[in-house]
Amino acid sequence: MQSDFEFIQHVIDEADMSDEDKAFIKTAIWTSGEIAEITSPTQYKAYSKIEAELRRRLPDRSSPDFELAFVEWARSREGVLALTYGEKIAEWEEQQEGNRLGEP
């Protein structure tokens, strides 16, 4: 019997799209459940450091090459992973802001 993930991989493999797009989708699926939610300030700091390290190869935002480099990076395994960490960081920040707003 095939697992859900194996079935999804099969569907992606059979889809009419480039190998690059298939790899991007598989990477996104792979990382989506791999990174735990942030539960402490220490974990938040660690995730921030990891995300910064994964972004180190990007040129400065003011660089004329930034947009193209970002698109290529965001589709890479490293980029997808960094963006997933960034998503967890943003969720934590929103939660903390919500907690501060709810305080008397």
Q: Give me the pLDDT at residue 45, please.
A: 92
Q: Give me the pLDDT at residue 4, please.
A: 59
Which helix (H) or strand (E) element contains residue 63? Answer: none
Tokens of 84: 């997933």
Domain range for 103 is: 35-104
Can you tell me which residue has the tokens 């890479």?
76
Residue 84 counted as domain residue: yes
Of 24, 44, 34, 29, which is closest to residue 86 (Cα–Cα)?
44
Q: Give me the pLDDT at residue 95, please.
A: 92
Q: For 9-12, which contacts have Cβ atoms below 8 Å and span 24 or more sequence positions?
A: none
Residue 21 counted as domain residue: no
Q: Give me the pLDDT at residue 62, please.
A: 92
Q: Give me the pLDDT at residue 11, please.
A: 75
State the Cα–Cα distance between residues 88 and 45, nearest whole angstrom: 12
Residue 63 counted as domain residue: yes
Q: Total structural domains in the chain? A: 1
Q: Give me the pLDDT at residue 30, please.
A: 67
Mean pLDDT by 10 residues, the chain (104 residues): 63 81 72 78 90 87 90 85 89 89 67
Residue 4 counted as domain residue: no
Residue 82 counted as domain residue: yes
